[in-house]
Amino acid sequence: MEDTINILLTDDHLLVRNGIKSLLEEDASLHVIGEASNGQEALDLAKELQPDLLIIDVRMPVMDGIEAVGHLKKYAPNTKAIVLSMHDSEEYILKSIQAGASGYLLKDTGKPEFIKAINTVYKGGKYFSGDISNVIVSNYLQNSSTSQPKEKAPAPKQTHGLTKKELEILSQILSGRTNTEISDNLGKSKRTIETHRFNLMKKLNVKNLIELSSKARELGFS
């Protein structure tokens, strides 16, 4: 029998909360056990209810979502947080991660990805939607390059089983481009790019863009 995932939902707009709650509870394994309209209410309810997940908006009165995520462990040590926002700015994304969020999704995320994110975070993983992952990787690469001596990276001596097309796509991923942008640049369909991307990540034995970025540096691809 599938586990029931207990969720605390936080958004300052009642209609938004109602919509998200209805969407989530179409899945029998998801149960919204509490609702809050600001970050402080979320923390107080988290302490009382000890939910599995806190799904929280960023901009709210009294206390915003990022600040609430930063205090969450003091109130509910085992509760994981997913930030659900309409904002895809680098500042909000990175601050949410630094505060301890295990996921960041945009409010226009489709239901299948939303449910996938919830299950991934519940099981101890991290989940950031595609364009958001590119922001994280770009920031990671920028920080890595500024923290190390400016030396020209040696060209990789081997392809590690990647095809020429996969290497080309890897280069564009590491430049922070989305699947759509890569598709436009190479004149290929988005589905084709997604297939190549899946294959190269499988060959390099990585699960997400952060691991891909680290592996690429380790192998001399970046």
Report percent pLDDT > 70 for the chain: 85
- pLDDT, residue 43, reads 97
- Cα–Cα distances in angstroms (integers) from residue 100 to residues 95, 194, 217, in the given order: 9, 29, 25
Residues in the chain, overall count: 222
Q: In the structure, what pLDDT confidence band is assigned to residue 120 with cuts at 50, 70 and 90?
A: very high
3-state SS assignment for residue 222: coil
Q: Where in the chain is the domain with CATH 3.40.50.2300?
A: 5-128
- pLDDT, residue 154, reads 45
How many CB atoms are closer than 10 A to CB 64? 19
For 154-196, write each residue's pLDDT tens digit: 444 456 777 878 888 888 887 777 888 888 877 788 888 888 8
- pLDDT, residue 67, reads 96
- Global pTM reads 0.63
Whether residue 31 contacts residue 25, with contact meaning beta carbons closer than 8 Å, is answered with: yes
- Structural fold of domain 135-219: Arc Repressor Mutant, subunit A (1.10.10)
CATH: 3.40.50.2300, 3.40.47.10, 3.90.76.10, 3.90.1300.10. Which one for 5-128? 3.40.50.2300
- H or E element: which one contains 84? strand 80-85
Quote the DSSP letter at residue 52.
Answer: S
- Cα–Cα distances in angstroms (integers) from residue 189 to residues 109, 177, 196, 216, in the given order: 21, 15, 11, 24
Which of the listed ranges 29-33, 84-88, 167-171, 174-178 does the model predict with the highest average pLDDT?
A: 29-33
Report percent pLDDT > 90 for the chain: 42
The C-alpha angle with vertex 222 and arms to 204 and 217, in degrees rounded to 5, equals: 55
> Stretch 2-30: mean pLDDT, rounded?
93
Which of the listed ranges 3-12, 178-187, 209-218 does the model predict with the highest average pLDDT?
A: 3-12
Sign of CA dihedral 112, 114, 117, 118: negative
Q: Where in the chain is the domain with CATH 1.10.10.10?
A: 135-219
